[in-house]
Structure 1
Amino acid sequence: MEPTSPLQYLFGYPGGRAIELLEALAESEIEVVRPRDEREASVMAEMYGRLHRKPGVLTGQGPWIGSIGAIGQMEARLGSSPMVVLTEASERGDYSTLAPYQQARGDYGGFALPKILDGIAKEWWFPRTPNETLRSTQLAFKHATAGRPGPTAVVLDGDAVTATVPEDDDPPALWSPEEQTKNWESSPTATDVERAAEHLANADRPVVIAGNGVHAAGAYDELEAVAETYDAVVTTSYLGKSTVAETHDLAGGVIGSFGHEGANQAVSEADTLLVVGCRLNPMDTNWGATSFVRPDEQTIVHADVDTRNAGWVYPADVGLIGDAKQSLSALGEAAGTFAPGNDWARDRAENARESFRAPECESDGEPILPQRAVAAIDEVVDPNTLVTADSGNNRFWLLNYLQTPARRTYFGSGGVGGMGWAGPAAVSAAITTDRDVIAVAGDGGFAMTMTCIETAVEYGVAPAFVVLNDTSLGMVRQMDDEIPGVDFHDTDFLKIAEG
């Protein structure tokens, strides 16, 4: 990749034959970010891919990339973040078949990293020659960003790691990285766009549900243009939060079982729904509540990069299959054929936004209520601030009471939804941007990856860490406070950070 690749950062941990890869990067301009373990490295790489919309690169020794390093890869797969994993099979050459130690090829006596990758990666490669290594790495970058983004992996082993690339031009040929990694955006058909535009233009109560696909495509201008053109309320899924500024006069908040009542009511009242880049998972749909989305009574237009997702949970009247940016752009252009407009959307959105505040947000009681803590965060967040949210109750407090002032300012664990995500994600964002960053986690999640503070210190960045400490796994305790294992002793996280 170096020097023709635009790669700027590599997140990883030295070990096994990944050491040889890192040695080769010692003189390059690529910055190697080494956190405290492969789990944190995987989250940092995933966050990089999600934030910058180009592959975050993770490297490390095969056994640990396939175990603790799987956390970030699973989040990337289910959260549609582009990611490339460069790992290895540990044993060298002929020793892989001789009572191996940490061997990951899958031979007798070792374990099978490829089988692990089968369940996580979009695609993976196991090159056997130097030429295959180059081609596989190029294809890994291509596949990571093709269609729905996700993680890909290259498993290095034997001579494929360090052998010299032949200088002859014998086939099969190697192409330049620019040629081999190029992708093309897909667009919906003109017929489908016209049908969708007609439904939206004739709607009296149109509502958009914007999901993570809008983030992945960077389709913010297009989303806002469609909302304003068709006078549609814009709600979001929890992964779609901040696809539109939640202060916009058409913003209606976050839908779902842990979202805003106002947003849920707007979706329920709609006569036409435009679902963009959202698969409508059970939490989005209030666990399939029959009063929420009603395909027999509402017109549903479903835009997604993958035709399998359009009409997956609810039957769709029109499917727009293509990149979200392309689909929304086409819808905006098609509006000229019609005369869209209604007297409902702006007033309905304004009413829906009232759900961002509750009396608890103003409470001065002690211990500090989580609603009040999030209200305090909301007071200091500006359009240049990034907020990362962990899994658990903290995320749901943020969904409800953090009103994002700009697009692309909130990122939460929600692909696979692993705890311990927010801290490393915030450090990754702080290292790779010049923006202010706030990580919010519960005490359970923060304790899992609090060594990321040391990484922040080492790399000279200072994200703010907010710990909503209820000395428990609060979300689990809410289900039944008699469940064993939900309570923690009260930890002084401030002293830990000072150390």
Structure 2
Amino acid sequence: MSSNEMTGGEALARMLKAAGAGPMFGMGGFQLLPFYDAARRIGLDHNLINDERCAVFIADAYAKVSGRVGICDATLGPGATNLVTGLVEALNAGTPLVVFVGDSHRLHSWKNMTQESRQTEILRPACKELIRIEMVERIPELVRRAFQVATSGRPGPVVVDVPEDICHGTFPFDEAEFSIDESIARAPAIRCRPAADDLERAAEMLSGAKRPLMLCGGGVHISGAAEAAEALAHAINLPVAHTMTGKGAIACTDPLSAGLFGRYDRIANALIEESDCLLVVGCKLGEIATKRYTVPAADKTVIHLDNVAEEFGRTFQPTLRLWSDARAGLDDLRDALAADADAIRGRQQGYADEVASKMKGWRESVDARLTSTEQPINMARLLNELNKTMPADGILVADGGFAAHWGGLLYDTKEAGRGFVPDRGFASIGYGLPGAMGCALAAPGRPVVGLTGDGGFNMVMGELETARRLALPLTVIVVNNAASGYVKALQHLMYGTGNYQSSDLAEVNYAKVAESLGCTGIRVEDPEDIADALKAGITGKDGPTLIDVVVTRDPAKMLPGVDNRTVQAKKGDRVA
């Protein structure tokens, strides 16, 4: 074996090269300079970011769409602490990331070093695992470990803390050490299958049900299980409802789609109430999905399929626990039902037709809002135009706040798969633009649209410079209501008209902001102009397009429905 004296920073870069790392983002400092130098020399696709939180958001969206591990880095102190929000998003969403963070020189630690903080203690609760490298020669081993942890079980972010002296120090590495098995460069790296007895019982419960319903969460997409969900649904005429992150488990346009369930729903909550057997797949049954823990009712028959055993019983006690990877479990269920599938499908045809009829009826009942000509623009009209314009392979990224709720309720994916990317792990606003950047990098050639509020865009507008620098062909829709819309809407519901505090923003023409940053800017005030603006953005190939859509200023119309928490709050409960 040949050996090569190199810095720890170069060893880090070589391990990423061995892993086939995709585009990565960071903002360097002295501690990681050897890594940056090696990245330049060996051809890693590393790019400067304007805010470290956005580096994690880009990596998160990239990983969600590509299935590969997202990579980013930050320098010590403020660089490290700026990562926290993005790390928690990835941790809660199950996104595989490896994040390198520079740290102080160990010889001088705790001697008032510039920018020093107890960053490992700050970051540890925000990631799946934190690995601190204490010896240069262990870099290949520990980076390999970081990838393995990031992609196994419920995937998540792993932080690799690199002291200055480790990154700048040298060691005669053996060339053979720089290798990473392809199996741990993607998530999920390892799949588990349900126990045979549990699988048999689940098949019996589904085959004997008269009104079964599948509820899909984001775990379906983490597992790459959309095709398996679609196949099971079609095999036995099993209707499917979804959470925001589970949208695309089957196409929203599929006759078996019952749409979003939980806090905002179309027809799904009523179907859940009427169902005699619920198959919950890759869903944590959190607050929004369960309409603050009221859906489904406690006495419902529920099969809960998840690969994280700790989620069983956390918010709902299921009748049957299926400990399994989503794709493997759904494939096994379909196989277990195969002998009776034709009979079940025929028996369930009337039920399936009923679901399709109810969905058609719902669409007709909201048509006035979907086609509204009012000015400022109705959010439902904006989403309806987006549905008509977006190609089947398009990706919509929905920022936190009301952008996600409107998108979750009204946006329709046209094929199974991850075509809707909301940041529901932490629901932080500011994800729309960097999330769109990550998706554009993960899926070149697919149209990408980011939907964000003006408040969220204000937080991250500097990344428009990054998107322009990279010539990313994406579209950002800024929903311009001159307010922190979600908060203002809640204040309206809670305290009445005119009782608003710290929820208004200045009127800004964001199209001009985009133009000042060298991007295409389009301002839309008339709903009849939405379609042309969307087409111009989606077909544009010369870099980012920002569409500034002036929507309603009426807080009574800012949400797609009344927030269920307000009823509880008016009874004296605390609003979260």
> How far 1:317 sits from its partner (Å)?
1.5
TM-score in terms of structure 2 length: 0.81
Pair 1:340-2:333 in alignment: no
Q: Distance in 2 between matches of 1:102 and 1:476?
A: 34
Letter of the 2:180 partner, please give it: P
Q: Which of 13-22 and 148-157 deviates more? A: 13-22
For residue 270 of structure 1, what is the aligned residue in structure 2?
Answer: 275
* Residue in structure 1 matched with residue 475 of structure 2 by the alignment: 464
| Correspondence for 1:107 | none
Separation (CA, whole Å) in 1 of partners of 2:464 and 2:441: 12
CA distance in 2, matches of 1:18, 1:352: 57
The code of the aligned residue for 1:412 comes to P
Shift in Å, 1:113: 1.1
SS in 1 for 2:344: coil
Q: How does 1:309-388 map to 2 (within 5 A)?
A: 309-338=311-340, 339-341=343-345, 342-354=348-360, 355-356=362-363, 357-388=366-397
Q: CA RMSD in A?
A: 2.0
Alignment-derived partner of residue 399 in structure 1: 408
Percent of aligned positions that are identical = 27
- Determine if contact 2:31/2:164 at 8 Å carries over to the other structure: no
Q: In structure 2, how many angstroms separate the alpha carbons of the residues matched to 1:372 and 1:267?
A: 28
Paired position in structure 1 for 2:463? 452
Q: Does 1:473 align with 2:473?
A: no
Distance apart, 1:358 and its partner CA = 3.5
Separation in structure 2 between the aligned mates of residue 477 and residue 8 of structure 1, nearest angstrom: 40
Alpha-carbon contact 2:19-2:179 (below 8 Å) kept: no
Where does residue 493 of structure 1 map in the other structure?
Answer: 510
Query: Is the counterpart of residue 96 in structure 1 residue 144 in structure 2?
Result: no
CA contact (8 A) 1:133 1:156 kept: no
Q: Secondary structure, in 3 states, of the residue corresponding to 2:272?
A: helix
1:296-333, Cα deviation, whole Å (9 max, x unpaired): 2x321000011111232221121111211111111011
Per-residue CA deviation, residues 381-439 of structure 1 (Å, 9 max, x unaligned), is 11121110011112211122211112311101211000010111101222332211111
Shifted more, 411-420 versus 179-188: the winner is 179-188
Describe how 1:55-454 pairs up with structure 2 within 5 A.
Answer: 55-89=69-103, 91-103=104-116, 111-167=117-173, 176-178=179-181, 181=184, 183-258=189-264, 260-289=265-294, 292-296=295-299, 298-338=300-340, 339-341=343-345, 342-354=348-360, 355-356=362-363, 357-407=366-416, 408-434=418-444, 435-454=446-465
Amino acid at match of 2:383: V
User: How many Å separate the matches in 1 of 2:393 and 2:255?
Assistant: 20
The structure whose residues are more often helix, as a share, is 2
CA distance, structure 1, for counterparts of residue 16 and residue 402 of structure 2: 43
Q: Deviations over 1:2-34 (max 9, x none)?
A: 542211221111123122211111022321122
SS in 2 for 1:261: coil
Contact 1:130–1:163, Cα closer than 8 Å, also in 2: yes
How many angstroms apart in 1 are the aligned matches of 2:182 and 2:430?
38
Provide the C-alpha distance between the structure 1 equivalents of 2:173 and 2:475, rounded to a whole number of angstroms: 51
Unaligned 5+ segments in structure 1 are: 104-110
SS of residue in 2 equivalent to 1:78:
helix
**Cα distance, 1:240 vs structure 2:** 0.7
Once the two structures are TM-superposed, the CA of residue 453 in structure 1 deviates from its matched residue by: 1.5
For structure 2, the residue ranges without an aligned partner over 5 or more in a row are 1-14, 493-498, 517-576
- Residue 352 of structure 1 and its aligned partner are, at CA, apart by 4.2
Work out the CA distance in 2 between the residues paired with 1:316 and 1:451.
46
